[in-house]
Amino acid sequence: MNPSPANSSMTNTLNYGLLNFAASASKKVSNDQINATLSKTVQNKSSSEVANQIATTLNQAVAIAKKYPQVQVSTGNQTTYPQYDKNQKIIGWTGTASLNLKSTDTVAASKLIAELQSFMTVDGLDFSVSDAARKATEQELMMEASKNFQRQAQTLLPVWGAKGYQLVSLEFSQGGDYRAPRAYGSVMMLEAASAKVADQNFQAGDSTITVTANGTVQLVK
């Protein structure tokens, strides 16, 4: 099928009068998810006993976590390595295992972390925007970025002596600081050495989410 005159004209002029530019939209969003990593390190002369202690610790932690269904729990890295004396003879074993927690219920997460600290150590704790909140915000920002792109295109028309434009292509990219710095409260938690650790009121802070519309338009004169 031969192209129509209009389509043929557009095809012949498609590579002329093209402008490439970008427009963005950003929004500050409250961090609604807490992320924490706890670990346990044990030492023993027997590698099997190290493995047994690690397994016992993780089983105990998972059992406690079942009281908090609002918190998502997953096992992290597990390593076992030998200890050597000056003659490179194995004199013992060290094992480490970690547990990852995340939840949008900071109260439940705080209580669980406090319980687990009676036999585990907090290695890291921070806050972020949950996947659900991030996706909803990105959908909102895509529309805003599109409107900003159109306004930018209209603003450029007089400069180039054009009366209008046609959209050639448009792509969206997401960015922003989805994760807040480590919470100050975690430092206090790490210093606690008693069997009973008080749960804390966390300050989650905010993150900024940005969506950028990168596109190409063809000027119509």
pLDDT given at position 123: 95
pLDDT of residue 190: 40
Q: Can you tell me the distance from the alpha carbon of 148 to that of 167, in angstroms, rounded to the nearest whole number? A: 14
Alpha carbon of 40 to those of 122, 123, 149: distances in Å? Answer: 9, 10, 51
Instruction: Give the pLDDT confidence of 111-143 residue by residue, as tens digits.
Output: 999 999 999 999 999 999 999 999 999 999 999
The DSSP element (H or E) to which 221 belongs, if any, is none
Q: Which of 189, 184, 180, 181 is nearest to 38 (CA)?
A: 189
Q: Mean of the per-residue pLDDT values for the chain? A: 86
The larger pLDDT score, comparing residue 179 to residue 113, is at 113
Indicate if the alpha-carbon torsion angle 109, 119, 185, 194 is positive or negative.
positive
Report yes or no on whether pTM surpasses 0.75: no
d(CA 20, CA 170): 10
pLDDT digits (tens, 9 = 90+) for 62-96: 999 999 999 999 999 899 999 999 999 999 999 99
Residue 162 burial (CB < 10 Å; 0-12/13-18/19+)?
Answer: middle
Q: Please, how many CA atoms are within 13 Å of residue 119, restricted to the half-sphere of its CB?
A: 12
Angle at 70 between CA 65 and CA 71, to 5 degrees: 50
